[in-house]
Amino acid sequence: MPRAEVKKLTLKDLAKILGVSTATISNAFNRPDQLSAKLRDKILTECEQLGYTGPNIAARALRTGETGIVGVMLSDPLRYNFNDAVAHGFLSGLAEVFDEQHVSMLLLSSKEAPYHKPSIEAVPDYFIVYGEPRNATVLERLERQHKKIVTVDFDYRDYPSVNIDNFQGAFDIAQYGVKQSEDCRVAILGLRLIDEPLLANIAGKPLLDASRSISSRRLDGYLAALQQAGMIITPEQIWSIPVNEAEISYEAARQVLSAETKPNLLLCMSDRVALAAIKAAADLGIAIPSELRVAGFDDIPEATVCHPGLTTVHQPFVEKGRVTANLLLPGLAPIEQKRVLPIEVVKRESC
């Protein structure tokens, strides 16, 4: 039989050829516990020989409205979410709950053109949007599906959301760092504070809106703590690192620590930035914490094993994933529109 004709086989065709009911074939693919192992293996083998590999998920979604799949829209490229400890922990938390509930997870990138095909958005039953996409049309496309959406690390309209208090976390660690330093001279190593792809201080450049940017909320927290301590910091002392990666963070730290007037307190908007700063300080012969104090944000596993141990803000990123999954799936959590998870300063040797 020509392959083009095999592809057109329907469940009714297969049932007639194999001498079983359409329900039996459907159970072989979707509900294996309903058949004996021997019968299921026989049906799957014969279907494979006929070129039938199973029901079309997208077609079934259109027909029944359910696929058992949650779409997770990522604001950063897919590879970043596997390399970043915070994103990896969040996805692990989601996976724990999804495994228990027998739900599958489909990862989607808001940055890559191949994922902008409208057919892919018809597949998931629900959506999680992890980080606000820079392209607003992404959210508009998801809204057109009329399915439940939970946002993470940002708020959007009246949709349920899960956040941490980024302002308070930054305020608390900046306040702590200032109290530990005599004649305190501060520099801030921020992340994506301005809409530019290059490493630069923020002097003369418009900042991203704090309502849409985690980094801007953290900056506001730092500045509020410094103002309360009677300190003034200029835009030249605040740097925007375009990506949360070690190499460019190391470059930023070396520039700051090589300046004529060196800071003795570095407030870093992620642990990855802070760890790069500790390495830069070591390479420049700057002792921590006697000559320089370094504070991070996130409390990733590396923060506990580096030397010196990194003082940082702990955010429960694995628990954030669990809470998000429970908020999304029906019947797993009370109806709450907004969840803000607790944070705390973890004091170690670097500050």
Quote the pLDDT of residue 57.
58
Same domain, 230 and 311: yes
The answer on 223 and 311 residing in a single domain is yes
Residue 171 falls inside a structural domain: yes
Classify residue 263 as left (phi > 0), alpha (psi -120 to 50) or beta. Answer: beta
In a domain, 348, yes or no: no
- Does residue 241 sit in the same domain as residue 190? yes
For residues 74 and 175, state if they share a domain: no
Q: Count the Cβ atoms, other than its own, within 10 Å of residue 323.
A: 21
Instruction: Mark whether 150 and 187 lie in a shared domain.
Output: no
Please tell me whether residues 256 and 172 are part of one structural domain: yes
- Please give the pLDDT value at position 93: 98
Total number of domains constituting the chain: 3
CATH no. for residue 287? 3.40.50.2300
DSSP label of 341? E
The whole-angstrom separation of Cα 47 and Cα 38 is 14
Asked if residue 310 and residue 250 are part of one domain, the reply reads yes
Note down pLDDT in tens along the chain; length 351 residues.
344 444 567 888 888 989 999 889 888 887 777 889 889 889 889 888 888 877 665 555 555 557 889 999 999 888 899 999 999 999 999 999 999 999 999 999 876 554 455 567 778 999 999 998 877 788 888 888 889 999 999 999 889 999 999 999 999 999 999 999 888 999 999 999 998 899 999 999 999 887 678 999 999 999 999 999 999 899 999 999 999 999 999 999 999 999 988 999 999 999 999 999 999 999 999 999 999 999 999 999 999 999 999 999 999 999 999 999 999 998 776 666 889 999 999 999 999
263-280 core/surface letters (b: 16 or more CB in 10 A; e: else): bbbbbbbbbbbbbbbbbb
Helices (H), 19-121: 22-30, 37-49, 57-64, 78-83, 85-101
- Domain residue limits at 42: 3-55
Nearest CA among 249, 292, 293 for reference residue 270 = 249
Is residue 188 domain-shared with residue 278, that is, in the same domain? yes
Q: Check whether residue 30 and residue 135 sit in a common domain.
A: no
- On whether both 152 and 193 belong to a single domain, the answer is no
* CATH code, 22: 1.10.260.40
Tokens 């020509």 locate to: 2
Q: Is this structure's pTM higher than 0.85? A: no
Residue 48's pLDDT is 84
The closest of 60, 6, 71 to 29, measured between CA atoms, is 60
Residues 299 and 171 in one domain: yes
pLDDT of 217 reads: 94
In a domain, residue 347? The reply is no
- In this structure, is residue 146 part of a structural domain? yes
The answer to whether residue 331 is domain-embedded is yes
| Predicted local distance difference test score (pLDDT) of residue 114 | 45
Question: Is 241 in the same domain as 266?
Answer: yes
